[in-house]
Amino acid sequence: MPSPASRIVILGTGGTIAGQAARADDAVGYTAGALGVQVLIDAVPPLQAVDLEAEQVAQLDSKDMDAATWQRLAQRAAHHLARPEVQGVVVTHGTDTLEETAWFLHRVLAPAKPLVLTAAMRPASALSADGPLNLLDAVTVARHPGAAGVLAVLAGRVQAAADLRKRHATRLDAFAGGDVGPVALVEDGRLRVLRAWPRGEPAGLQAIARDPAAWPWVAVLANHAGADGREVRALLNAGVRGLVVAGTGNGSLSAPLEAALVEAVSDAGVPVVRCSRCADGAVIDPPGAALPSAGERSPWQARVDLLLDLLVQP
């Protein structure tokens, strides 16, 4: 009989890790999410000795991730994490929106047990697919005594959701941990913990209980050479409820774009949060900043934060 709290639940959502191509040497022209999660598990022989349970939550390319899938994934992860026999949950996911889903789950659940996301840069049909080892490493992390929080495991690095950044379009080590680096490393099947497991104050499932079709629209736009206020006014006219702006450098904005965003707040009551286009580094607010910044959060994380803020408003 397995010991209490020894089961690992693997939730499949699709992605490149479940992708399939017509040729084994084709790492770009493949169909993401073609394979079910049980097929992924069966392809990793060491997992056959682990007390596992699998559930297919979705089967999509993560570029098409949506609010309804986020809601269902959070609900199913919370359900399994609450089971006393479950030690941790692993989620197979695509890389395109992995950092957004990880931050969403952290903000909503911030679990005391490990909730580990993993993915792959090459499809399952590739000659040297990275998905099988990433999945094995993710299960290793989920089984580690004391592991906690929302984590992502790729290329042997264990990143906290808050720090996760996709920094390369095709390399196997596409993800990095911002300014602080990984929480842990998986080395030859063993975990070397480098710093504390991530903790947080969860918003709870009640925050996302509303019909996803009715979730407020939060858009991301960017500062760039020649940026003005036309995009802001178009979004306001279309009914946007919140705006995240990826500024240049330290979150800087062109004068006309900043003026239009200030008007969005003062005249339309639409909240605006300022971030940086730069992948690393926090935005430091100068004295008298006209618009608040999201600090060290990426634009995609700031969008999740603003979305949740709007969802819990009466």
Same-domain pairing of 165 and 19 = yes
Same-domain pairing of 56 and 189 = yes
* pLDDT at position 3: 52
Q: How far is CA 260 from CA 83, 268, 277, in A?
A: 49, 11, 19
Q: Which of 13, 95, 101, 118 is catalytic?
A: 95
Same-domain pairing of 241 and 112 = no
Is 62 annotated among the ligand-binding residues? Answer: yes
**SS3 of residue 189 by DSSP:** coil
Confidence of residue 27 (pLDDT cuts 50, 70, 90): low
Domain membership flag for residue 305: yes
What pTM was estimated for this model as a whole?
0.96
pLDDT 10s digits, 80-91 = 999 999 999 999
Domain membership flag for residue 208: no
Domain membership flag for residue 198: no
User: Which has the higher per-residue pLDDT, 112 or 178?
Assistant: 112
Report, as an integer, the average pLDDT of 15-34: 86
Q: Is 95 a catalytic residue?
A: yes
Same-domain pairing of 38 and 175 = yes
Q: Which domain holds residue 233?
A: 216-311
* Residue finishing a domain among 193, 224, 251: 193
Same-domain pairing of 168 and 19 = yes
- As a whole number of angstroms, the distance between CA 69 and CA 67 comes to 5
User: Which has the higher per-residue pLDDT, 217 or 179?
Assistant: 217
CATH number at residue 305: 3.40.50.40
> Concatenated DSSP letters for 196-240?
PPP------GGGG-S-GGGSPPEEEEE--TT--SHHHHHHHHHT-
pLDDT 10s digits, 90-124 = 999 999 999 999 999 999 999 999 999 999 999 99
H-run or E-run covering 272: strand 272-276
Q: Look at the chain and report how many structural domains it folds into.
A: 2
CATH number at residue 23: 3.40.50.1170
Domain membership flag for residue 206: no
Q: Which of 13, 16, 69, 140 is catalytic?
A: 16
143 within 8 A of 88, measured Cβ to Cβ:
yes
Domain membership flag for residue 105: yes
**Residue 187 corresponds to which amino acid?**
E
Of 134, 139, 130, the C-alpha closest to 157 is: 134
> Concatenated DSSP letters for 148-183?
-EEEEEETTEEEEGGG-EE--SS-TT-EE-TTT--S
114 within 8 A of 142, measured Cβ to Cβ:
yes
H-run or E-run covering 140: helix 131-142
Q: Which residues pair with 245 in a beta bridge?
A: 221, 274
**SS3 of residue 275 by DSSP:** strand
Domain membership flag for residue 201: no
Same-domain pairing of 282 and 176 = no
Same-domain pairing of 278 and 173 = no
Of 83, 81, 141, 140, the C-alpha closest to 111 is: 81
* pLDDT at position 178: 81
Is 95 annotated among the ligand-binding residues? Answer: yes
Is 3 annotated among the ligand-binding residues? Answer: no
H-run or E-run covering 117: strand 114-118
Same-domain pairing of 186 and 228 = no
Same-domain pairing of 184 and 40 = yes
Of 177, 21, 6, the C-alpha closest to 88 is: 6
Same-domain pairing of 168 and 229 = no
